Chains A and B, each alone.
Chain A
Amino acid sequence: MKDNRPVNLDIGTIRLPITAYASILHRVSGVIMVVASFLLLWALEQSLASPEGFASLGELLANPLVKFVVWGIATALIYHSLAGVKHLIMDFGIGETMEGGTLGARLVFGFTAVSAVLVGVALW
Chain B
Amino acid sequence: MVTAVTSLSRSGLSDWLVQRVTAVILLAFFVFVGVQIASGVSYAEWTALFAQTWMKIFTLLAILSLAAHAWIGMWGVFTDYLTERLMGSRGNVLRIGLQLLTSLSLVIYVIWGIQIVWA
Contacts and interface: CB of A to CB of B under 8 A. Distances in A.
Interface of A: 1, 3, 7, 27, 30-31, 33-34, 37-38, 41, 44-45, 47-48, 51, 54-55, 77, 81, 84-85, 87-88, 91, 122
B5 to A, nearest CB: 12
Interface in B41-62: 43, 46-47, 50
B70 A48 contact: no
Nearest to A26: B73
B47 A48 contact: yes
Contacts of A47: 43, 46
Contacts of B20: 88, 91
Given A1-B2, A31-B77, A84 B43 contact: no
A41 B46 contact: no
A51 B8 CA distance: 39
Task: State the majority secondary structure of interface residues on B.
Answer: helix
Contacts of A54: 43, 46
A37 B2 contact: no
B23 interface: yes
A42 B76 CA distance: 27
B109 to A, nearest CB: 6
Contacts of A122: 38
Contact of B116 (A7, A41, A91): A41
B73 A30 contact: yes
Contact of B74 (A34, A77, A84): A34
B116 A84 contact: no
B13 interface: no
A41 B112 contact: yes
A48 B50 contact: yes
Task: State the 3 A-B residue pairs at the shortest beta-carbon distance, nearest first.
Answer: A54-B43, A34-B70, A45-B116
